[in-house]
Structure formats: structure tokens, C-alpha cells
């Protein structure tokens, strides 16, 4: 809506109703204010009419002192001496008023004709302006569509280039792997060939040496055996011959002896014996010659054996030389492989450099194109702005003409009202009520009829564009305080209000355009008021800190890991639908309210960019522009909390993270942003995302890749990110999401590095049920939570899910569930209260999700339990602002603070049965749940005097020690 809505229709405003009610913001009408509005249609003749109220109800009209010069009735108030003269004067005045009325009607007809012409021109102007506006909008839409198209193309090209880069990287890696495999295969083949050749040669040489030695030995043995056999044979033959000869000789000798004896002389026999001796000698000589030949053969065989041994030694030398050559070949092959790997690395670096250069060139071209589109859009905006300015100037000209016609109509209307006031005889004007013109009709007649009425239209409808919320709040702080509406004339006459001190039109425009003037009185007033307000708040905080320091002991203000001061009260500052609004700005405005209620820490929603708008599917951890607001708005919100001494707890999701890109096989496991991780950062047993890390140390979260916290680079990046959130953004502590997914030892490392003031882990586990009913013994459930806290070394607290689940059933007349067999409270608060964060509902269990909502009719009792018991209680946003129990929560927080209850306070339970529950918490507070009659003054176990602090009947009662 434009700033001059009076151009659309001409409206006649009857002065019977005020514009605004006291305390309302600029330009808002009161709901019980009904204007008598009549639209002047485009007709040539129309009479000025009045409402029926003028004919039946007497009207008291007071005129402004500035219009007294035009008053024609200064002499008409004289009292006539007789009734006839008075009647004649009244008739005369009536005739004159009738003639004047006719003249007024004629002038009104003329004004209506002019107004009709003005309206016709206005329609033409509006048609022209609308046509120009449509053209500008179409041009802007065309430019926007072109920009979106270019942006989509550039994004597509970017993703194509990135996919090509991924494919190129993968191809290069595959090529390097193949080259390495081929080199290994070639090396193995070459080595195997050489070894086989050398082994074959060695084996051949050994075989030949063995064969040669075997042949030589065989030849020697054969020759020796042959020569020996032949020698033996020859010897046998010679011996046989010698024996034969000897026998013959003995025979001859016998014969010779016989002959000699017989005196026979045998010369022939002697000659034969001599011949046989000669033959025998020849055989012996032959045998000696054969023996010498055999010895010569043996010497030859020994020489051949020595030669064979020399050849075997030469073969061994050749084999050793072959092994030396093989080692040299292996070394040279390794050097060649190393050289090839270096060349491949250089080639990969060159490819990366070329791709980076191409990417930079593409991004530079994209930025240039984007700048061109932006300049085109700016030019279109300037064109539209100039057209709007022209339209404004035309509207202002038409407005001036319309204002002149309204002034003339108003003057005749005042004269007609003056005439009717004479006829009604209700009251005459005098000097006593000359100033009452400022307050007629509730003190708003000047506001309706003067020339500055357009600025109220501006304030009611606003400028053409939306102004920031901080500027709207500033305008709201300086709005004028309107006087209350007056009912009768006596109250009007005695009112102290005479005029309205309104801001000037240029001052309103200076605020709306976010360009305050340096010398503007209005802005100086605002700055002065803000400085005074800041000083007042600083003084209040200083006094509050002094009071707190005076009340608390040094042990109570000591900080411990996971518990803060021990007096923390956490407020969950969002629900499941908070992302739909500018949540950081809305929450920052509630900082003072929360601090005054006794809240000490505010749990903020997940701050990072997320695939899901609620923030629990994070992607780029360093991008804090989320659905809840920008990074600057988040910092502003945290600064507001710190100014009210509130801790800001960040909701950090460390178990899982959503990837930015797909791998070549189509799996989303490549992360982008500053923490550009790969599949090695995902656990290997994640069934959906093909991780290459180590097995998971907890439960699997199936909606997103589960991060492997055993990797050193992952823990290093997470610790740097947490320290950045602490130092640069301003968070004081953490709420850790889904800590069941990874070991508490990693949480201990993260907490010790980031050093938060307070930390809470969400270890949400199912309770034990039997046949659909909650089991009484829930020790196993709370033991699992305690085990996780113990794994963190006690550096983190945890949500007491056990207490929440037990309260669901216990508050339905089963209060015996609130005491365990050892007489302690059930849940984690009974075993490790300083690390138990109690709660009734959060964004998961309640809100619009409603996974496990707390019984609506038992909320008051639930808060009475957790806010009066040890542990660290948590208040849910919906309960505090939307469920109508805010005052009850404030009262319970006050009782907790007055009694000095902290996270380690002792609990002594007196009753826990079907009728109710009674316990003394600390030394100064006793609380009762249920509908049975009980009073601490009648108990022998309670000493001292007790005074009832809160009495909510059957819901709960609190007593404080006097």
C-alpha cells in the first residue's frame, strides 16, 4: 500500500470518533471506534448530507480560536426583548441559512464536478502508473528469470566441472594404480625371467658338471675294471700257461731224472724247456706293456676329471655373475619405477593446477556475469525508483488539489454545523470555551481536519518498503501519548490536554529511510533515552551482581565441568516450528524478560546451515546463516543474552553430517565447505554411505553419514570449530545432540578443549515396559545414562529421561514411583544429581512433533517437582509463553532461589504412595504433591517453624522455613 491512500477514494469523515486509543502504536485504529465514512461516488450532483445523529442527538461544537475571525454570529447572540422579534430573527436566520445552504449546495456541486475531473485524471494517472509499474515489474521479472537461468546454468556448470574434477581425480588415481600394478608386474616378470634363466643356466651347468663327473667316473671305473679284468685274464692265462709249462717242465724234469737215472740223456727235452721259457718271458713282457697302457688311460681320465671340475667352477662363477647382474637390474628397475611415480605426481599436480586455473577463470567469469546481472537489476531498480518518484510527485500534486477542495468543504460544513447549533439551542459560544476547540470529540478535531493529517496515514500504512524491527521498536518508544477519550462536555472542558505534539513529516521519513539526521531533535531524544536506559540497566545488573555475591558463598559460585555454578536454570528457547520466523531477533527481545524470571541459561537452536530447516541435518559447519536467521542476528541475540547475564548454549550436532556431493558411484559421501572431508571421515559400518573409516563406537543414525570420531583429522577439525563458536560467535556452552552415536571419551576431549561453562548430552533411551505398563525398576535405564556421563569423565551433564518417563505415570496417583528402594528419587537425579538435567518436554517430545508429550493436565505438578528438586531443571518455550502457566513457573523459580536449592541439594522423602508425595529438599523447603492432608508443623521429624509459601490445593503445596 502506498503512503497516500486518500487518492483512491474521497472520504468524508464525520467528527464523532477518535483516530487512535491511548497506548496504541502509530496509525492503529481502536477496535471500538466506528467511523461514519461515506465514499463520494463519481456523480455530477450530490448533496452534502449528515448522519441521523445530527437530527436526533444534540451536538456541542466548540470552535478553534484561530477560526473566530470568520465567525458570522458575533452579533447573533443578542437576546430580543420580545418573543415575536425573536421568532422573526430566527425565521430570518433560517432563510439566510437556507440561502446559504443552497449556495453551499451549488458550490458543492461545482466541487464535485472538479473532484470528478480530478478523479478521472487520477484514474488516467493511475492507469499510466500501473502500466509503467507492470512494465517495470515485467522487466524486473525478465531480469530475475535471466539471472536465475544464468545462475542455474553456472551452478550446473560448476557441478559439471566438479563432477569432471572428481572423475579426473578418480581416473588419475586409477591410472596411477594401473601404472603401479603394471610396473610391479613388469618388474616381477623381468625378475622372474632373469631368475629362471640364471637358475636354468646354473642347473644346466650343475647338470653338465654332474654328468661329466659321472661319465668320467664311469669311464675311469669302466677303464679300470676293463684293464684289471683284462690284466687278470691275461695274468690267469699267463699263469695257466706258466703252470702248463711248469707241469711240462716237471714232467720233462721227471723224465730227465728218470732218464738220468736210467742214464738216458735227453737233449731235446732241455731245448723245448728253454723255448717255453722264452715264450713265457714274452707273455710277461706283453702283460707289462698292457699295464703301462692302462696306467696311461688312468692318467688321461684323471686329467679329464680335473678339466670337468674346472668347467664346474667356471659355471659357478658365471652363476654368481648372473646374480650380480640380477641385483643390478632390480635396482635399476626400482629407480625407473620411482622416476615414473615422480613423473605421475608431477602430471597430477599439473592436472590439479590446470583445473584450479580453469575453476578460477570460470568463477571469475561467473562473478563478472553476476556483477553484470546485478548492475542490470540495480538499473532496473533505479528505473522503478525514478518511476515511483514521478508517481509520488503526481500524487502530491493531486493531494494538494484534493486538500484545497477538502478545506473549502470543511469551511462550509462548519458553517452548517454552526447553523444547526443555533437551531438546537444547546449552547452558545463564549469566551470561557474558546480553547475547547482543541479537545472536541476527544481532543482529535485538529487531527482530523488540519493539513498534517497525511502523516498519520503515513504512520498507519507505513512507507513503501518494510523497515527493520529495531527501527520499528525505536519508533514505538518515541510515539506520542494520546489523551484519553472524553465522554461528556464537562470532562472536555476540564481536560489539561490542548494540542498534540506530533513529529514532523520529515522526521518520520528520516526514521523510515534509516537515515537519521544529526541535528534532529527527535533522534537526539531517542539517543538520550537509549543512553539513560543502558545506564539504568547497567546499574540494575551491578546491584543484582552485588546482591548475588553477597547471598552466595564461594562454593556456590565455583564453576565445575558440566554443572556451571550448580544454580543453573535452563530455558529451551525454541520449538519445532521456530525456524519459520526471524527467530534470533524475536528471542533477543525476550532476554530481559527471561533474566527477570530467574532463567540463567538459554538453549539456542542448531546454528549451522542444514538440509532440514530445523537444523539437525548440518552440512557446512562454518556457515551460520540458517533458517533461524543470519550470523549477524545470532551474534546480536547472544550479545543481548550476555547483557542480561544469561548463558548462551549452542545446539551442536557432532554425530552426523550431510554431504555436499556424490561420489562417482552416486553415493552422497563427499563433504564441502571449510571442512572438506571424504568417505574416510565416515564409519565403515554405516550401511548407507560407503564409509572408509573405522567401525562406529555407538548407534547408527540412518538419515545421514555417521562421522568417524576415531580419525585424528576429524577430531582436530571439530575442536577448532567448537573453539571458533566459543571465541568468535560467543557461545558459552553446548547441548550435544544424539550422543548415543559415538563414545563419551570423544565428548570428554571436545569439552576439555573448548572449555564450556555448561554442557548437556542428549542420551535418549527407551524405558522398560511390561505388558504395556511402565516397570517400577528403571535402574538399567538410568545406569546407561550414568555410564555415558562417566565415559565423559563427568565433564558433561545429561538429560534425565528416566525422571521424565517416570513422572508420566507417577503423577496419575502412582506417586510411589518417585522413590526407589534406597529411599532416593528415581531417575538420574537420585544417583548423580549434579549431572542430571531434568525436563518435561522439548522440541522432539512436544511441540508439533508430539513424539512423547507430557500430560497437559499434569504440567503444573511436573514443574513443581523438577523446579524444587536437585539437578538442573529445564523450562520449555511453549510452556512458558503459550500454555498460560508462566506465572506459576516464575513462582516456582522464586521458591527455588529463596530456598537456596541447587543441583546437589539433599532430598528426604517422607511419603510416596497412591495418595501423594512429600519431600524435604535442602534445609529450607518442603513440598507436597497430591490431594491428601499434610502439614509440616505436625511432623515430629521436621524441626523449626514452617510457613506455607504456595498453595495450589490438590496439585502441590510448598512450605518455607521461617
3-state class of 656 per DSSP? strand
Catalytic residue among 640, 762, 891, 955: 762
> Is-contact 742 654, C-beta < 8 A?
yes
C-alpha cell at 270: 732241455
User: Cα separation of 801 and 764, whole Å?
Assistant: 6
794 φψ region: left (φ > 0), alpha (ψ -120 to 50), beta (else): left
Q: Which residues contact 326 (CB under 8 A, 6 or more apart)?
A: 191, 194, 195, 198
Please state at what angle helix 521-551 crosses helix 469-477, rounded to 10 degrees. 90
3-state class of 910 per DSSP? strand
Q: Which residues contact 901 (CB under 8 A, 6 or more apart)?
A: 868, 869, 870, 921, 922, 925
The sign of the CA dihedral 834, 571, 785, 840 is positive
Q: Which residues contact 652 (CB under 8 A, 6 or more apart)?
A: 606, 722, 725, 734, 735, 736, 737
The sign of the CA dihedral 279, 283, 288, 292 is positive
Given the DSSP bridges, would you call strands 836-838 and 797-799 parallel, antiparallel or unpaired? parallel
Question: Which backbone phi and psi does 659 adopt, to 5 degrees?
Answer: -80, 160
Is residue 506 part of the annotated active site? The answer reads no
E strands present in 263-411? none
User: Cα separation of 760 and 789, whole Å?
Assistant: 10
> Is-contact 129 355, C-beta < 8 A?
no
Question: Which backbone phi and psi does 780 adopt, to 5 degrees?
Answer: -65, -35
User: Cα separation of 763 and 741, whole Å?
Assistant: 9
User: Cα separation of 96 and 720, whole Å?
Assistant: 92
Nearest to 885 by CA among 916, 864, 902: 864
- Which contiguous run of DSSP H or E holds residue 570? strand 570-572
User: Cα separation of 141 and 648, whole Å?
Assistant: 42
Q: Give ∠ CA 471-476-477 in degrees, rounded to 5.
A: 100
Is residue 762 part of the annotated active site? The answer reads yes
| 409-430 exposure pattern, b = at least 16 Cβ within 10 A, e = fewer | beebbbbbbbbbbbeeeeeebe
Q: Give ∠ CA 253-258-261 in degrees, rounded to 5.
A: 120
Q: 630 - beta bridge partners? A: none
3-state class of 809 per DSSP? helix
User: DSSP assignment, residue 514?
Assistant: T
Nearest to 675 by CA among 622, 628, 627: 622
3-state class of 316 per DSSP? helix
Catalytic residue among 276, 568, 737, 955: 737
Nearest to 298 by CA among 216, 210, 232: 216
Q: Give the chain's length.
A: 962
263 φψ region: left (φ > 0), alpha (ψ -120 to 50), beta (else): left
> Is-contact 440 493, C-beta < 8 A?
no
Helix runs in 438-488, H state only = 440-443, 445-449, 454-461, 469-477
Q: Give ∠ CA 733-738-741 in degrees, rounded to 5.
A: 120
Catalytic positions, please? 737, 762
Amino acid at each position: 500500500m502506498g503512503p497516500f491512500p486518500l487518492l483512491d477514494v474521497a472520504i468524508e469523515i464525520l467528527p464523532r470518533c477518535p483516530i487512535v486509543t491511548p497506548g496504541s502504536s502509530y496509525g492503529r485504529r481502536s477496535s471500538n471506534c466506528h467511523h461514519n465514512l461515506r465514499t463520494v461516488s463519481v456523480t455530477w450532483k450530490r448533496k452534502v448530507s449528515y448522519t441521523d445523529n445530527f437530527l436526533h442527538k444534540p451536538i456541542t461544537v466548540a470552535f478553534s480560536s484561530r477560526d473566530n475571525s470568520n465567525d458570522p454570529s458575533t452579533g447573533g447572540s443578542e437576546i430580543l426583548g420580545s418573543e415575536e422579534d425573536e421568532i422573526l430573527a430566527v425565521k430570518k436566520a433560517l432563510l439566510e441559512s437556507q440561502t446559504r445552504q443552497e449556495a453551499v449546495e451549488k458550490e458543492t456541486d461545482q466541487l464535485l464536478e472538479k473532484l470528478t475531473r480530478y478523479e478521472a485524471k487520477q484514474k488516467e494517472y493511475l492507469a499510466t502508473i500501473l502500466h509503467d509499474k507492470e512494465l517495470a515489474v515485467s522487466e524486473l521479472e525478465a531480469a530475475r528469470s535471466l539471472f536465475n537461468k544464468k545462475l542455474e546454468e553456472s551452478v550446473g556448470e560448476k557441478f559439471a566441472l566438479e563432477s569432471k574434477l572428481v572423475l579426473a581425480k578418480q581416473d588419475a588415481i586409477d591410472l596411477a594404480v594401473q601404472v603401479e600394478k603394471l610396473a610391479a608386474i613388469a618388474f616381477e616378470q623381468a625378475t622372474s625371467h632373469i631368475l629362471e634363466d640364471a637358475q636354468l643356466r646354473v642347473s644346466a651347468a650343475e647338470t653338465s658338471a654332474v654328468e661329466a663327473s659321472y661319465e668320467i667316473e664311469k669311464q675311469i671305473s669302466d677303464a679300470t675294471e676293463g684293464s684289471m679284468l683284462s690284466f687278470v685274464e691275461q695274468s690267469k692265462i699267463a699263469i695257466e700257461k706258466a703252470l702248463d709249462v711248469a707241469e711240462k717242465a716237471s714232467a720233462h724234469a721227471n723224465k730227465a731224472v728218470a732218464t738220468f737215472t736210467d742214464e738216458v740223456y735227453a737233449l731235446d727235452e732241455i731245448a723245448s724247456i728253454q723255448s717255453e721259457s722264452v715264450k713265457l718271458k714274452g707273455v710277461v713282457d706283453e702283460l707289462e706293456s698292457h699295464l703301462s697302457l692302462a696306467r696311461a688311460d688312468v692318467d688321461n681320465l684323471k686329467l679329464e676329471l680335473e678339466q670337468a671340475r674346472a668347467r664346474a667352477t667356471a659355471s659357478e662363477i658365471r652363476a654368481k655373475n648372473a646374480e650380480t647382474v640380477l641385483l643390478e637390474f632390480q635396482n635399476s628397475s626400482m629407480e625407473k619405477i620411482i622416476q615414473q611415480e615422480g613423473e605421475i605426481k608431477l602430471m597430477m599436480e599439473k592436472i590439479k593446477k590446470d583445473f584450479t586455473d580453469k575453476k578460477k577463470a570460470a568463477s571469475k567469469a561467473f562473478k563478472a556475469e553476476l556483477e553484470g546481472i546485478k548492475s542490470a537489476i540495480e538499473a532496473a531498480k533505479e528505473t522503478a525508483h525514478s518511476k515511483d518518484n514521478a508517481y509520488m510527485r503526481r500524487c502530491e500534486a493531486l493531494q494538494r488539489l484534493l486538500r484545497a477542495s477538502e478545506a473549502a468543504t470543511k469551511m462550509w460544513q462548519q458553517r452548517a454545523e454552526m447553523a444547526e447549533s443555533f437551531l438546537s439551542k444547546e449552547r452558545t459560544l463564549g469566551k470561557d470555551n474558546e480553547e475547547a476547540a482543541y479537545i472536541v470529540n476527544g481532543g482529535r478535531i485538529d487531527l482530523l481536519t488540519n493539513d498534517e493529517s497525511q502523516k498519520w496515514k503515513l504512520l498507519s500504512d507505513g512507507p513503501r518498503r518494510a523497515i527493520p524491527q529495531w527501527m520499528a521498536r525505536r519508533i514505538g518508544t518515541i510515539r506520542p501519548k494520546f489523551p484519553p477519550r472524553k465522554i461528556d462536555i464537562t470532562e472536555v472542558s476540564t481536560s489539561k490536554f490542548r494540542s498534540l505534539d506530533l513529529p514532523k513529516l520529515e522526521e518520520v521519513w528520516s526514521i523510515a529511510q534509516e537515515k537519521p539526521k544529526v541535528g534532529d531533535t527527535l533522534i537526539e531524544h531517542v539517543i538520550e533515552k537509549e543512553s539513560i536506559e543502558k545506564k539504568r540497566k547497567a546499574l540494575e545488573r551491578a546491584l543484582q551482581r552485588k546482591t548475588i555475591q553477597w547471598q552466595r558463598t564461594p562454593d556456590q559460585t565455583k564453576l565445575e565441568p558440566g554443572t556451571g555454578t550448580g544454580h543453573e536454570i535452563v530455558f529451551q528457547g525454541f520449538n519445532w516450528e521456530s525456524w519459520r520466523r526471524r527467530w534470533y531477533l524475536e528471542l533477543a527481545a525476550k532476554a530481559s524478560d527471561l533474566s527477570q524470571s530467574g532463567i540463567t541459561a538459554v538453549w539456542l537452536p542448531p546454528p549451522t546451515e542444514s538440509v532440514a530447516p530445523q537444523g539437525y541435518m548440518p552440512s557446512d559447519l562454518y556457515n551460520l546463516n540458517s533458517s533461524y536467521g543470519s550470523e549477524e542476528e545470532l551474534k546480536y541475540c547472544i550479545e543481548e543474552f550476555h547483557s542480561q547475564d544469561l548463558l548462551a548454549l549452542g545446539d551442536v550436532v557432532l554425530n552426523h553430517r550431510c554431504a555436499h556431493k556424490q561420489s562417482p558411484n552416486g553415493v552422497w559421501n563427499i563433504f564441502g565447505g571449510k571442512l572438506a572431508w571424504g568417505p574416510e571421515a565416515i564409519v565403515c559400518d554405516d550401511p548407507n554411505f560407503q564409509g572408509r573409516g573405522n567401525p562406529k563406537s555407538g548407534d547408527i543414525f540412518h538419515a545421514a553419514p555417521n562421522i568417524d570420531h576415531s580419525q585424528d583429522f576429524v577430531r582436530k577439525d571439530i575442536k577448532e570449530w567448537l573453539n571458533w563458536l566459543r571465541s568468535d560467535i560467543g557461545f558459552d556452552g553446548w547441548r550435544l545432540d544424539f550422543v548415543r552415536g559415538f563414545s563419551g571419551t570423544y565428548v570428554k576431549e571436545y569439552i576439555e578443549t573448548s572449555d564450556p561453562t555448561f554442557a548437556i548430552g542428549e542420551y535418549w533411551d527407551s524405558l522398560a515396559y511390561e505388558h504395556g505398563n511402565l516397570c517400577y525398576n528403571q535402574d538399567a535405564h538410568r545406569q546407561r545414562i550414568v555410564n555415558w556421563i562417566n565415559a565423559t569423565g563427568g565433564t558433561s551433564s545429561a538429560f534425565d529421561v528416566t525422571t521424565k518417563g517416570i513422572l508420566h505415570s507417577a503423577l496419575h496417583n502412582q506417586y510411589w514411583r518417585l522413590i526407589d528402594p534406597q529411599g532416593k528419587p528415581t531417575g538420574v537425579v537420585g544417583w548423580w544429581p549434579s549431572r542430571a538435567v531434568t525436563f518435561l518436554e522439548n522440541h522432539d517430545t512436544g511441540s508439533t512433533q508430539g513424539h512423547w508429550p507430557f500430560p497437559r493436565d499434569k504440567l503444573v505438578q511436573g514443574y513443581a517437582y523438577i523446579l524444587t528438586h536437585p539437578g538442573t531443571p529445564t523450562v520449555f518455550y511453549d510452556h512458558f509463553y503459550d500454555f498460560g502457566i508462566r506465572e506459576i513457573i516464575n513462582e516456582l523459580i522464586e521458591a527455588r532461589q529463596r530456598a537456596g536449592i541447587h543441583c546437589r541439594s539433599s532430598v528426604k522423602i517422607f511419603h510416596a504412595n497412591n495418595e501423594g508425595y512429600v519431600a524435604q529438599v535442602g534445609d529450607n523447603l518442603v513440598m507436597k504433591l497430591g490431594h491428601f492432608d499434610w502439614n509440616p508443623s505436625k511432623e515430629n521429624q521436621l524441626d523449626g517453624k514452617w510457613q506455607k509459601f504456595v498453595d495450589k490445593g490438590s496439585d502441590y503445596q510448598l512450605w518455607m522455613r521461617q
